[in-house]
Structures are given as structure tokens and as C-alpha cells.
Structure 1
Amino acid sequence: MKRGKGKKETEKSASMIDRRERSAYFARREAARVLRTVLRGDARRRAVGSIKSLVYSPSVRNKKGTFALVCQTLKHLPLLKDLLKKTDILKGKWKRQEELIFVVTYDILFGQVSQSQIADVSKPRYVRVNTLKLDVELALQQLKVAYKVKKDDMVPDLLVLPPGTDLHNHPLVMNGSLFLQGKASSMVAVALMPEPEWEVLDACSAPGNKTVHLAALISGKGKIIAYELDKKRVKYLEDTVRKSGANNVDVIHGDFLETNTEDPLYSNIRAVLVDPSCSGSGTIAERLDHLLPSYIKGGHTSDVDAERVKKLAAFQRKALAHALSFPAVERVVYSTCSVFKEENEDVIKSVLPLAHFLNFELGTPFPRWPRRGLPVFDGAEHLLRMDPKEDKEGFFIALFVRKSIPSKSEKLSGRRQNPSPHLLGQRPKLKRVKRKRHCLFLKISQMLLYNEMNRLRYLKPSMKNL
């Protein structure tokens, strides 16, 4: 009997070891795939996504183990590279799988770490209730069974849980009843405050959390037109819309800047959300960018980054100016997850002449919020800022509200539809005057005639002697 019992215990122990080894194997493989994407994106300065968004995608099974391995491997990457440089491992067939070698080497040398060692333990976990599927009060009751949870004091459909709460595999998250969405991100759609039955345009939509939040705020009525230029991100956007259950969202794969504001398709657009590509400087800690090689080398303060911010700001100005130009639009929200003045207050200041020309004024989103815009122009106190230290993430929100819609006569005259370039913060294009070609031929003819006259002048004395 004892021998049989011992055999069973041995088999059980072996089975547990086998499961752990299998779990570790998959975690290493998944961590290597994420690490490859992160490092390649960082090298090209074109991030596909944050570390968290890549790890918590549906394709990753062992999320906790993968997250810990990726973060800790990045943290020890300089040391790992130095150690492996002294061997020939990365010079042979393993060169193509160097990310896997980094992960395995870290795991062997330093062992696995718990996610709590790298998580930001001071930041609460926010979840937004998708009211298209679940009532806020009902969600609160269901979560209270297992968690300490309360309502947010600013966003009506946002719930707050203790830091470190992991809900990625919770049934309500998996079925789209809850969205893991930060406070700042959830404030954007609420700031726009669209009314039911309105048609709303989301200019830069992917991954779609704000898009489906807008759909929920208009109670599944009205219409959301969601633009996204990047083909891969369109897929993420469509998946988010499908998961949310929103049936009033039209996803368009195209460039928002190419839309014709006079097209009848957009004649009833009443609100526009502009959440354009930005530097992400306000979410470096959230995105874990401080673990990336370029950040460690000081690349995030280089002239290259300054040039990138300049280009981003140029695009942001164009996008916001275009959003203000829709004929029936009444409310426009501009938001970034940046802390740079160039992408925030400077962008708003540059479009203010156009906004005033089109009868817009700055509104005050969330008046009770204490942190407002930098005082770089009159009215900056209407802008909203979130601080990376005080609020755990950097964010910026500006709201434009139209005082009145242009009259029919103004629309027909085109005065309000075709503002001068200086209202857009642009220099007027000067028409280049081309020199006429016949002037060049005239000069050549004059030169030839002058040379011929000189030749004849020298020939005259010699002709007299004939």
C-alpha cells in the first residue's frame, strides 16, 4: 500500500513539474515574440504598441508570466548582452532567435519574478462599464462580491479598484461588459458629451476604446463614423467594436484629412473627437518605455525626438483645423497623452483664429478638475491637464464649443468655408512668377549680334587694302 501511495505521489509531483515546465516554456516563447516586436519598434522609433498592450493581447495565454519575463529581460538587457557577447551563441544559428536567448538567459540566471515587483502599486485599477451591455449599478454589485470597488468621482461609468487588481481574465472583461480603460482616456468621450441621435466622427480611432465609449454615451442611437488610416490598426478597431456590441459604428479605413467637409455624407456631423498620434510622453511609465534601450541611452531627449514632436504637432494642427471645418459641428474635443507644450497649448493657440472665425469658443471640460492648461495665452485656463506624478499619467484635453452655426447665406458665400491661410496658422502660398523663355533667347541674340559687329569692325581695315 505504501509503495502504491508513494508511486501516486511521485506521478502527481512529476505531473505538476511537467505543467510548470510547459507553462514556463510557453511564457518564454511568448515573451520572446513580444520582446522582438518591442525591440524592433524601438530601433525604428515606430512602436507597434506598448509592452502592456502587446502582452495583454488575446494571442498571449500566460499573461502574468510573459509580462514579468519581458519587463525583467528588458531591465537586465545590457548585462545579458555583455554576458552573451563573451560567448559564440549569438553568432551561429541562434542569431535569428536572439530575443529567445535573452529571455532564457535571464530566466536561468535570475529566476522568475512576480508581477507585483514591477507593477505600479500606487496607481488604481480603472474599469469602464460598457453600458451597451451592462448597467453600472449591476456591474458594481457583481464586482463587490470579490473586490473592493467604488464609483469614480468624475466619470459616471468608471469604476475604481485597488492597485494591482488583475481583471484581464475576468468574465465581464472577456465578454466586453467591462473595458480596462484608464481614467484620462475615459474622460475624453465624456468631455465631448454627445447627445443621443447625434452623428459623431472619431478622427483617429484605433484601438477603439474611446470610439465604443462614444457609442455607449449616445445609447446605441445616432451614428459613429470611425476613421483609421493604418490597416493593421483597423483590425484592432473592428475587434473592439465587435466586442462592445455597438451596432451604430461605421469603421472607415482612410485618411481623415482627406475627407471633404462639404460632402453630404458629413452634413449632419455634430461632434468630432480628435485624438491624434502623439509622442506619448505622458504615459512613459504606463507604457514602460523607460525599459527600452533608446530611453536608457538618452534617446528620448535627443534632437531626433524634438524633430519628431515638431512633425507630430504639424499633423495635430491640421487634424484639429479640419475637425473645426465641418459645417454642422457643434462640439470638438482634442486630446493627447503628451506633456509637451508643443503638442498641447501651442496646437490650440495656433487654431484659435480659425476657431473664432467659425464661431467657436473654448469650453471648460470637468470644471472641478484642479490642473488646467499652461498660461501661454488668454483662455488657457479652460484647458485640462493631467500630471504624470500627481495623476499617474500625463494627459491633455481641450474642448471647442460652437456659439452658433453659420447662416445659410454665409455657407453659400463660402466666407466661412474658405478661411484665409493665416487663420490656419499657415503662411499664404506666394505664386512664383516664371521668367518667359523669349527673354533668354533675346539675350542670346543680342550677344551674337554684338560679337558679329565687333568682327566686322576688325575686318574693315583689311578690306581697304585689297
Structure 2
Amino acid sequence: MALYSAAAAVLEGLERGDGGIKTLVYNSRFPHVRQLYALVAETLRYSPVLEKLLAGAALLQAEKKLPPQLAKVLVYDLLFGKGLKCGGRWKALARRHRARLEAELARLKVQQKVSRNEDLLAPAQAASPGASQVPRYVRVNTLKTCVDDVIDFFKRQGYSYLGEAASVEELRALSGKKFLLDLHLPELLVFPPQTDFHDNLLYTSGHIILQDKASCLPAFLLSPAAGSHVIDACAAPGNKTSHLAALLKNKGQIFAFDVDTKRLATMNTMLMRAGVTGFQLAQQDFLTVDPRDPKYSRVTHLLLDPSCSGSGMVTRVPGEEAAPSPERLQALAGFQRRVLSHALSFPALRRLVYSTCSLHREENEDVVHAVLQEQGSAFSILPVAAEENPQRREGTEPGAAPKKRKRKKQRVKE
């Protein structure tokens, strides 16, 4: 029941204007934030359809103690989601009305002359969550296991392993219980879209991390050697931090910063479950961190994923800003320039990866070029197509044009 209650509370908070979906999800204290975010996002996407179904089935009139937002969540999962795998007494309540709700759904399809649930959505709603077409990426946590063992585990669960992908098209064609090894990242498995592993033993034990490919790229490109001292400047919720720890083989030190106490608490739980050691979490604005503090004197690698417009996120949901105003873009870019300049001031720094979830040049190329101009010849840009030439990960080819993939930038101190 905790999942449905938490989702309903987030929806109520959105309705009151208490904050955005990410803020409310992270502040919910629900342990599985990605699962909660997905349920809220999909319920919001189907909200107009759910309102019609609730009205047509007169569910709220029949169950006067059922809160409207909770009703939406329950009906979404009953008819469009996972089929009410949890829910206690509310689950039993929703199932009592299942026949009426399914009849109302069938009537709505006939009325709109469609056959698929997705076709009930308006074009903007149907197109908004590109995540429904994005493969499910699973990063093997090499602190606890290895790729071969995870592949064998999924085989025993009835999945068919198709080997290493040869092209992006192969990933897009995945369906059923089939999976591949990613063609770029060596510890990333790829499953069909919307494959759910939140209840899988490997996930709950921290042996696998549910992490999108774009989110895996920054740590992979930073590529710190075991024993390195690394800063994760804007760390929560911690997927990238756990990836850094895996690359370091838990040897070295990670300093991770975030200003939100609740996000850090969630992150600490996640890192402990993943078996991460040698990290220090600090509730602190990274801009207030003193680069001259002796404890950072050995920091050679830094991961910087600052706040941005989020315009490149495929999981955008209703209520999130899709097209930021020029004024907001300039404000974000100003902050990003400040934080990038600050990051480059750590005296032993050799390599930094700057990444955003934005498609706007103002938050990416313009920020990088402006800061590099200020720095003079101290830093240069490296190509990010590291997988095509291992030497590039070692910083041997500075100055080449960076490839765009979620606008990742990498630079090395000369």
C-alpha cells in the first residue's frame, strides 16, 4: 500500500503547487524513488482518461472514503499498469469495481473508435513519455557481482540472452523476455521498454542498478583509476556515485555533495545497498566548498552534473516546463558557468566531466566555451567518443570536437 499512498500524496502535492514532481518524489521518503516516479508520471499521463473512467463508473460516489488521487493511482495500475500487485484493502476495493471499470474502458474505446489504450491519449500526452519506447537499461554493479553471473541469473529466470548488440536498431527491436549487452558500455544490459525489475532479487540486493544509458556515460567517460580521489559535485540520487565507486573498485575516495537532506538520506541508503565504501556525503552547496581545503588536495577527477532545464529528458511528465524562457535559460547558464569555474579551481584536478540533461546550447557548448576562455590554456576539451579509442580515455587527444550525447563534455588539465 505504501507505493500507492506515496504516489497519491505526490499527486496531491502537485495539485496544491507544493513543488515539481522530482522534488515531491524525493521528499516522499519512499525507498524506491524511480518506481514511485514512474507510477506518478504514468498516472499523470493518463489523468484525463482516468477522470472519464472514474466518472463513468461512478467509483468515487460508490466509495466515498476513497481519495480522488488515490483512486486515479489504483485505477491506472489496475487497467494500464502492473495489475495491482500491492495495495492492501484499497486493492480489494478497486478489484470489487473491476468489471464496471473494464466495461467503462471498453465503452470509451468504442466511443473514440480506438483499439489500444495508448490511442485514448491526446497526441501530446501519447508523445510525451518517450520513456515508453526507451529500452530498460540495467547496469551490473561490479562491486557485488559480474556481468556473466547476472546474465546466467536472468537466463534461469526465463530470459533469452542475444549477445552483444551490433547496432542501436537491435536495441530498439527488443521485445518479450530477450536482452542484449550494450554495444558501448561493457557492464550495461539492455531489456525491452518498461521491463520492471523493482521487485527483482538482483535489484533489491544491489547487484544491479536501474540506470539509463545517458546517466552511465559521465562516470564511464571520467574513468578514474582505482585509488583516485573523486568529487561528485551534484550527487543525489547517487546512481553516478555508485558507478564511480565501481570504476574505482572501492579503492580511493569519493566526496559527494548535495544541498537536500532527504535526497542525501535516500542516496546513502542506495550506496549502502550497492556495497559502496570510501565515500563522504556532505549536505553542502558545492559552490561553498573550499578547493584549498587539505582534504581535497588529492582530488584529480570531478563529475559535474548541475541543475539544468531538463529539456532533454525523455521521461518529462505533464506539469514540467518543456520550453524554458530565454530569461530562465540565461539564469541557468549563469549558475552553470559559476559552478564549472569553481570545479576547475581544485589544484590537483586532471579531468572533469560536465554533463546536463538539456538540449539547449546555452547550457552546454556556450557554458563550456565561456569557462574555457576564462581558464586560458589550463584545460582543453577531449572527445567523448571514448569507446571508439581507449587512448582517448587517457587524455591523449585533446582538442577534437566532442560528440553530442546528452551533451557530455570532458576536459583535462594540461
8 Å CA contact retained: 2:260, 2:283? yes
**Distance (Å, rounded) in 2 between the aligned partners of 1:108 and 1:218:** 45
Q: For residue 309 of structure 1, what is the aligned residue in structure 2?
A: 329
**Superimposed CA distance per residue, residues 22-70 of structure 1 (whole angstroms, 9 cap, x where no aligned partner):** x7xx776444223123444xx366443487x89995369x979955872
**Distance (Å, rounded) in 2 between the aligned partners of 1:351 and 1:160:** 36
Q: TM-score, normalised by structure 2?
A: 0.71
**Distance (Å, rounded) in 1 between the aligned partners of 2:201 and 2:229:** 32
Secondary structure of the 1:246 match is: coil
8 Å CA contact retained: 1:228, 1:256? yes
The Cα shift of 1:186 comes to: 0.6
Q: Which has the higher contact order (CA 8 A, sep 6+)?
A: 2
What pairs up with 1:98-117 in 2 under 5 angstroms? Answer: 100-104=67-71, 112-114=79-81
**Distance (Å, rounded) in 1 between the aligned partners of 2:311 and 2:39:** 25
**Distance (Å, rounded) in 2 between the aligned partners of 1:221 and 1:178:** 20
**Distance (Å, rounded) in 2 between the aligned partners of 1:64 and 1:224:** 27
* Higher share in helix: 1
The Cα shift of 1:139 comes to: 1.2
8 Å CA contact retained: 1:28, 1:69? no
Q: For residue 362 of structure 1, what is the aligned residue in structure 2?
A: 381
**Superimposed CA distance per residue, residues 338-396 of structure 1 (whole angstroms, 9 cap, x where no aligned partner):** 11111111111110123434x21101112568xxxxxxxxx99633323xxxxxxxx22
The Cα shift of 1:100 comes to: 2.8
8 Å CA contact retained: 2:383, 2:399? no
Shift of the 54–396 alpha-carbon distance from structure 1 to 2, 3 Å rule, reads: farther
| Letter paired with 1:138 | D
8 Å CA contact retained: 2:4, 2:73? no
8 Å CA contact retained: 2:218, 2:355? yes
Shift of the 207–27 alpha-carbon distance from structure 1 to 2, 3 Å rule, reads: closer
**Distance (Å, rounded) in 2 between the aligned partners of 1:241 and 1:152:** 24
**Distance (Å, rounded) in 2 between the aligned partners of 1:130 and 1:164:** 21
| Letter paired with 1:200 | V
8 Å CA contact retained: 1:73, 1:106? no
8 Å CA contact retained: 1:80, 1:105? no
8 Å CA contact retained: 2:226, 2:252? yes
Q: For residue 111 of structure 2, what is the aligned residue in structure 1?
A: none
Name the larger-Rg structure. Answer: 1
Q: Does the alignment pair 1:48 with 2:77?
A: no
**Distance (Å, rounded) in 1 between the aligned partners of 2:258 and 2:77:** 42
What pairs up with 1:48-87 in 2 under 5 angstroms? Answer: 48-49=22-23, 57-58=30-31, 70-71=43-44, 74-76=47-49
| Letter paired with 1:219 | K
Shift of the 59–211 alpha-carbon distance from structure 1 to 2, 3 Å rule, reads: closer
Secondary structure of the 1:382 match is: coil
The Cα shift of 1:197 comes to: 0.9
What pairs up with 1:312-461 in 2 under 5 angstroms? Answer: 312-357=332-377, 359-367=378-386, 382-386=401-405, 395-403=406-414
**Structure 1: where are the runs of 5+ without partners?**
1-22, 370-378, 387-394, 404-466
Secondary structure of the 1:384 match is: coil
Give aligned pairs, total: 337
Shift of the 106–200 alpha-carbon distance from structure 1 to 2, 3 Å rule, reads: closer
Q: For residue 127 of structure 1, what is the aligned residue in structure 2?
A: 138
Secondary structure of the 2:189 match is: strand
**Distance (Å, rounded) in 2 between the aligned partners of 1:30 and 1:108:** 15
**Structure 2: where are the runs of 5+ without partners?**
83-115, 119-128, 160-177, 389-397
Q: Which of the residues 5, 9, 12 maps onto 1:36?
A: 12
Q: For residue 93 of structure 2, what is the aligned residue in structure 1?
A: none
Question: RMSD of the alignment, in Å?
Answer: 3.8
The Cα shift of 1:77 comes to: 7.6
The Cα shift of 1:308 comes to: 2.7
Shift of the 78–249 alpha-carbon distance from structure 1 to 2, 3 Å rule, reads: same
Identical-pair percentage: 35
**Distance (Å, rounded) in 2 between the aligned partners of 1:162 and 1:368:** 23
